[in-house]
Structure 1
Amino acid sequence: MYRHVIITLLASIQCCGGILLFASYYGDHMVLQRSPERAVLWGYGTDGEQVIVYLSGPTNHTTSPVTVTEGVWRVTLDPIEAGGPYTIIAAVHANKITLTDVLFGDIWLCGGQSNMQFKTSQVLNALEEMALAAKYPQVRIFMAAMEMGETELIDLTKFDLPWSVPTAGDVAEFSAVCWLFGRYMFDKLKYPIGLVESCWGGTPVEAWSSSRALRQCGLEGIEVDPKNRNSVLWNAMIHPLLNMTIKGALWYQGEANTFYHQSKYSCSFPAMIDDWRMSFHQGSGGQTAPDFPFGFVQISTNIKGSTYDDFPNIRWHQTADTGFAPNPRMPKTFMAVAMDLPDETSPFGTIHPRDKQDVAYRLTLGARAVAYNEKGVNFRGPFPARILITPGYLNITYDQPVSVTPSKDIFEICCSGISAPCGPQSYWVPAPIIKWGPTTVQVSVYMCPPTAEVAGLRYAWQDWPCDFKSCPIYSGILPAPPFTINKYPDHRRHH
C-alpha cells in the first residue's frame, strides 16, 4: 500500500522533465559506507527513465544508467575509501538532484528503547560533552522519527534530524550512547563515522522484530498498548533502512521485556539479531555483511534492594542464557555490562543512569575487537572457566586475571535435597567470598544444610547487585558479568 501511495504521488506531480527524488534518509552532510563495502543510493522517479549518478570529490565515479521501475531507481556505487567531501548528482536528462558534503566512512545503526534514546543533554557532564561536538565534524548524525507501521514500509515517513554536521544543539537531542560511541570510535579510527538513531522508549523487542523472527519464538500475540504490538517499529523504523549499507548495529533495550514475554527473550533477542542481519544483507544487495557486528548493552539497574529476578533474568537472556558474548548462539556480537553503573539520584529515574560515557566506552572495546579485529583488546569481563566443589567451599577459576573485593552475598548457592535443577523458587543462600588469588575466587558453602548439596551457583543475581563501579570482581576496568550455573541442567529448556 505504501509503495502505491508513493507511485500515485509521483504520478500526480511529475511534469515536463519527470520526477527525480532521493529516498528520505539521503541528504547533504551524510555518511555513506566506505570500502570494501559498496554504498547503495536509491530514490523515486518516472517509470522507464534512465538515471545516472555522478560522484565527484577525491575520486570521481559515474554509474551505468539504471531504469526506474515501479517508481523506484537504485544504484550501487563502486567501493570508495574513507574520506571526502564528495558531491553526488543523480540525473535524468536535464533534471538533476544533488547531495553535497558527503563523506565515506562507517555507518552504525543505534536502536532500542529509552536508555538508547537517552539524550546527550541528560548525561553527567552534559555541557562538556555538548561543547565537544564542534570538534568532531566528521561524526555525522541522523535521527529517525518515532513512527509505527501496520505493514513494512519502504521509506521513512518522517525523521527528527536530517544528516547533520554536529552542533551542540543537535547533539544535545541525540542519543548519548550512540553519539559517545561514534566520538570515541572516531578518536580511534580517524575517519568519518555515520550514526543513525532509531529508538523508542518503553518498547519491547517484539515491536522491533519482523513477523518472520517472531514466528521462530512462538510470539504472535497482540497487546493493547500500541508500542507493544508485534513488528510495528520494525515496519516503520527499521525496514525502511534495509537498503542502506551499514557497518554494524548497537542496541540498548530489554527493560520493557522484564514484564513482557520475559521467558521468551533468550529466543526473541537472538532471533531479531539474525533476522536484521539477513534483512540488511539482502536489502543492500549483499553489501552489508550477513553477519555484521552487533553490540548491545546488558541492562543496568532499577530498584535498589529489590528481590525480584526480572532484571537478572533479562540480563541472562540477553546472552542467550550463556552469560557472555559472543557465544555460539550469537556470533560476532559484543556486550557492554552496565549493572555496576547504577544512578540512585538520577532525575530521570533510577532505570535511566546518567553515566553513558562508560557504557559507550565499553561498547567501543567490543567494536574494536569484534568489528575491527584489533588484537589484544580486552572487551569481556572475567567469566568462570572451571568450578570445583570441595567440602566446605567452591573454588571458581576465571578465564582471565581478576581483582577481588570481599563480599558476603554477591555469590549465592542453591541448596537442594534432590537431584534436580535449581530455579527461582529454589533455596538460594549467600556464599561469602573467603579467599582469592590471581585468577581464582573461593566461596563458602557453610550456609547449606548438612542434608543438602550445592546444586547451583550464581553471581550478581540481583536487580541492583552493587554500587557504582563497586562490584566485587573485575578484570581491569571490566566487571564480571552475572551468571547462573546448575549442577543439574534442565534439558527440557530450549531457546
Structure 2
Amino acid sequence: MVLQSRPASASLWGVVSLQSLPLQVFMDGALSPHELLHQTERGGHVEWRLRLAPQEPGGPHIIEVVAGEERIALRDVLFGDVFLCSGQSNMQMSVVDAMPEDIHGYSWDFPRIRILTTDPFPFSSKTSSQQHKLPLLHSWRLVTAENVFGPSCGATGWRDCYFSSVCLFFGMRYHNVSGHPVGLIASATAGTPIEYFMPRQELESCNKSEIQGHHPMNVFHPHGFGPIQGDGVLFANVISALSPMSVRAFLWYQGESNANDPEGYRCLFPGLIRGWRRVFSDDGASIPFLSVGLAADVNFAGLLPEIRQAQTFATKMENVFVVPAYDLGDVESPLGPIHPRRKKEVGLRLARVAIGVFHGSLDSAVAPEVTSITVSVWNSSAMRSLKVGTISRYYSRWVLEEQTPDSVIWLVNVSTRAHDGRMVSLDAASCWDCCRESGVFHLFGKYAGDADSAPDASQSESVFTTLAEGQGWYAAASSLPSDWETYEIRYGWEDYPQCIIYREADRLPLNPFRFRISATANKQDQEPEALADFVSKPLHVVSWSSTLSRGQSLEKISV
C-alpha cells in the first residue's frame, strides 16, 4: 500500500478486542510516535483510528500495530502521494479500453505505484459495525502487466480487469516527474449523477432534501441504484469509508448524467467539493480538486457547453482546477462517442496541473485563459484602401478577394496571458490550415427584418476566417450584410467543436467562452489598441479586459 507522506500525516484505523488496549505502533521494529484520534467501544471490541507522524517519501517499511497479544502487520508500505480518482464511466473506463497506441510501448512495471479499486456497485447500506470496512473490488496491488491486463481480462467480464485508465495514466506521469511513490484509489461508478456522491448536508443546501431515483443519460453499464438508495448512496457507502485516509488530491471526471441541469450543477459541484474536503480533512484544509471538463460528444443535443461552463464555475473556489477535454472526442469509440478512448491525454493534462500545484508553477500547467477580447465592426469598401501592415496584409487580401463592397466586417481579437505564448488554430484532425476557412468563432444574431428580436431566439450564425496568430493573441474576421445584428460571439460553444485554438507549445486548448454584445456597446467609437495596425476608424468597437477572478463566466459580463 501507499500512505500519504509529509506534509500530511497518514492515518491507520481498525478494530481490536477491548482487553488488548493500549495500542502501540512500530515502524521497521522501532517504536513510532502517533496520535490517537478515535476510540469507540462496540460490544467488547474497540474501533480505533490513529495518526502517524509525518513521513518522508520512500520505503518500503513494515508497520505493526500491537495491542496486547494482538498484532497487525502491514508489509511493503510506501510513503508517497495518494490520489482518489472518482466520477462516472469516463473515470471508470479501464486501461484495456484506452486507445491501442496509448497502451503499447509501456513495460507496465511500476513497483513504486500501487493501485486500489473500490466496488463500483456497493448496493447494501452498511450497519454501524461495518463502517470501518472498505467496499473493495481489489485491495492494494502493484502496477504490473498481469494486474493491468491479467488473464481474466475479457474472460469473465470487465470488472475483473478494471482499473481506471485516466487515473493510471495520471499516476504514471506524476510518479515519473515527482519521483515520489504514488497510491491511486479508483472509486467510480458508471451512469451516476453527482448527487450519488454527495453528503446529505450539501444535498439539502442545493434543495435536494428528498432521496431521488435517477435515470442517468447514456449509462455505460446498468446498475441497481433506484429510488430507495439514490442520492448520497456512494458518499455514504464508499467515500465516507475512505475518508480516514490522508490524500494529496482528488481527481474527478463526471457530469454527463447531469448535463440536462447545468444550473443545478453550479450548486451541486461546489457542494461536493466542500463535502469531501470536510470529511477528509480534520482542519478543513483545501485539498486540491482536479476535474475534467466533459469531452466532445455528438449525442447531447447542445447540452455540453452549458454543463462545461457549470464545471468551470467551481474554479472560483481555492485549489479547484478544470482541465479541458472538449477537443478529445472519439466518434469511433467501440463504447460509443460518450466514452472517448483518449484517456492518456486526459491523464497527462491532470498530471500537469498536479505537478504544477505540488512541484512547480501553474503558469504552464493550466489551459490558456482569455484576458481580453476586442470586437470591431468595419465597412468593407472603406477598408479596401488600407495601408498594409504586419497583420493587415492577411486582412487586406481577404477583403479584396472575398468581400463585396457593401458588406460589414466583424473582427475579433482575443488576447491570452503573456506566458501562454503563440496561439494557433487546428481542426479536429489536427489540420493547421483547415480552420483558416471554417473559423473558430461564431456570430449569433439576426437580420434587422426578422420578426423575433429576442437574443435567445437567434438562429443565424457566421463563421470567422483566421487572419493571423501570434504571441498571446489570435485574430479572425467574418463578413455579413449591413443589416445583420449580432447578439453574441462564441468560441468552442458546441458539443463537438471542430476548430480549436491551442497554445502551440503544448497543445492545451483555450477554454470555451461566449461574449454577449449589448446594444449600447455598439455605439462606442474608440481606437482598438490590440488592432492598431488595422487602421483608424471602425464603425463600432466593443472590448472587454479581464479584471475577474479565475472561474467567472464571460457569459455574465455586460459590456
TM-score (norm 1): 0.81
* 1:275 maps to amino acid: G
**What residue in structure 1 maps to residue 238 of structure 2?**
237
The 1:421–1:247 alpha-carbon spacing in structure 2 relative to 1, beyond 3 Å, is farther
* 1:318 maps to amino acid: Q
* 2:346 maps to amino acid: V
| Structure 1 residues without counterparts, runs of 5 or longer | 1-29
CA offset at residue 280 of structure 1?
Answer: 1.0
- Worse overlay, 221-230 or 340-349: 221-230
d(CA) in 1 for partners of 2:462 and 2:139?
A: 52
Deviation readout 1:182-212 (Å, 9 max, x if unpaired): 1111101112100011000011111111121
**What residue in structure 1 maps to residue 148 of structure 2?**
171
Q: Pick the aligned partner of 1:339 from 299, 316, 326.
A: 326
CA offset at residue 267 of structure 1?
Answer: 1.7
**What residue in structure 2 maps to residue 356 of structure 1?**
343
Q: Is it true that 1:381 corresponds to 2:367 in the alignment?
A: yes
d(CA) in 2 for partners of 1:203 and 1:464?
A: 22
How many equivalent pairs are there?
443
Q: Is it true that 1:197 corresponds to 2:197 in the alignment?
A: no
Q: Pick the aligned partner of 2:510 from 464, 480, 484.
A: 480
Deviation readout 1:371-394 (Å, 9 max, x if unpaired): x15027512332321112211322
CA offset at residue 313 of structure 1?
Answer: 1.4
**What residue in structure 2 maps to residue 313 of structure 1?**
306
d(CA) in 1 for partners of 2:65 and 2:34?
A: 10
d(CA) in 2 for partners of 1:159 and 1:395?
A: 52
Residues 125-204 of structure 1: matches in 2 within 5 Å? 125=100, 128=103, 132-134=107-109, 136-146=110-120, 147-148=122-123, 154-156=131-133, 158-172=135-149, 173-204=162-193
* 1:177 maps to amino acid: V
Q: Is it true that 1:223 corresponds to 2:224 in the alignment?
A: no
* 2:334 maps to amino acid: P
Residues 238-387 of structure 1: matches in 2 within 5 Å? 238-259=239-260, 261-282=261-282, 286=283, 290-303=285-298, 308-320=301-313, 327=315, 329-370=316-357, 372-375=358-361, 378-387=364-373
Question: SS at 2:25's partner residue?
Answer: strand
Deviation readout 1:431-485 (Å, 9 max, x if unpaired): 31341231333333534x644543322111111112xxx6344342111121122
Do the aligned partners of 2:467 and 2:477 also contact (CA within 8 Å) in 1? no
TM-score (norm 2): 0.73
**What residue in structure 1 maps to residue 492 of structure 2?**
460
Question: SS at 1:267's partner residue?
Answer: helix
Question: SS at 1:187's partner residue?
Answer: helix
Deviation readout 1:131-187 (Å, 9 max, x if unpaired): 5222x1010010010214658973345311101122223224210111111111110
Do the aligned partners of 1:32 and 1:103 also contact (CA within 8 Å) in 2? yes
**What residue in structure 2 maps to residue 19 of structure 1?**
none
Deviation readout 1:79-101 (Å, 9 max, x if unpaired): 11111111111111111111111
d(CA) in 2 for partners of 1:127 and 1:388?
A: 40
Q: Is it true that 1:403 corresponds to 2:424 in the alignment?
A: yes
Question: SS at 1:166's partner residue?
Answer: strand
* 2:256 maps to amino acid: E
d(CA) in 2 for partners of 1:186 and 1:115?
A: 22
The 1:484–1:49 alpha-carbon spacing in structure 2 relative to 1, beyond 3 Å, is farther
Residues 20-99 of structure 1: matches in 2 within 5 Å? 30-47=1-18, 49-57=20-28, 61-63=32-34, 68-70=39-41, 71-99=46-74
d(CA) in 2 for partners of 1:487 and 1:149?
A: 53
The 1:319–1:237 alpha-carbon spacing in structure 2 relative to 1, beyond 3 Å, is same
CA offset at residue 213 of structure 1?
Answer: 1.4
CA offset at residue 53 of structure 1?
Answer: 3.5
**What residue in structure 2 maps to residue 446 of structure 1?**
479
- Worse overlay, 241-250 or 141-150: 141-150
The 1:157–1:75 alpha-carbon spacing in structure 2 relative to 1, beyond 3 Å, is closer
d(CA) in 2 for partners of 1:50 and 1:92?
A: 5
Do the aligned partners of 2:82 and 2:182 also contact (CA within 8 Å) in 1? yes
d(CA) in 2 for partners of 1:54 and 1:159?
A: 25
| Structure 2 residues without counterparts, runs of 5 or longer | 150-161, 216-224, 378-408, 426-434, 519-553
**What residue in structure 1 maps to residue 458 of structure 2?**
426
* 2:100 maps to amino acid: N
d(CA) in 1 for partners of 2:455 and 2:504?
A: 28
Identity %: 28
Question: SS at 1:236's partner residue?
Answer: helix
Question: SS at 1:90's partner residue?
Answer: strand
d(CA) in 1 for partners of 2:205 and 2:38?
A: 37
Question: SS at 1:235's partner residue?
Answer: helix
Question: SS at 1:406's partner residue?
Answer: helix
The 1:314–1:105 alpha-carbon spacing in structure 2 relative to 1, beyond 3 Å, is same
* 1:243 maps to amino acid: P
Deviation readout 1:202-261 (Å, 9 max, x if unpaired): 1111111112112222233512552682111111110111111110010111111113x3
**What residue in structure 1 maps to residue 399 of structure 2?**
none
Deviation readout 1:4-45 (Å, 9 max, x if unpaired): xxxxxxxxxxxxxxxxxxxxxxxxxx1111011111111112
**What residue in structure 1 maps to residue 197 of structure 2?**
208
The 1:377–1:224 alpha-carbon spacing in structure 2 relative to 1, beyond 3 Å, is closer
* 1:140 maps to amino acid: R
Question: SS at 1:240's partner residue?
Answer: helix
Question: SS at 2:202's partner residue?
Answer: helix
d(CA) in 2 for partners of 1:313 and 1:244?
A: 34
Q: Pick the aligned partner of 2:99 from 120, 124, 139.
A: 124
Question: SS at 1:207's partner residue?
Answer: helix
The 1:126–1:235 alpha-carbon spacing in structure 2 relative to 1, beyond 3 Å, is farther
The 1:479–1:60 alpha-carbon spacing in structure 2 relative to 1, beyond 3 Å, is farther
Higher Rg of the two aligned structures? 2
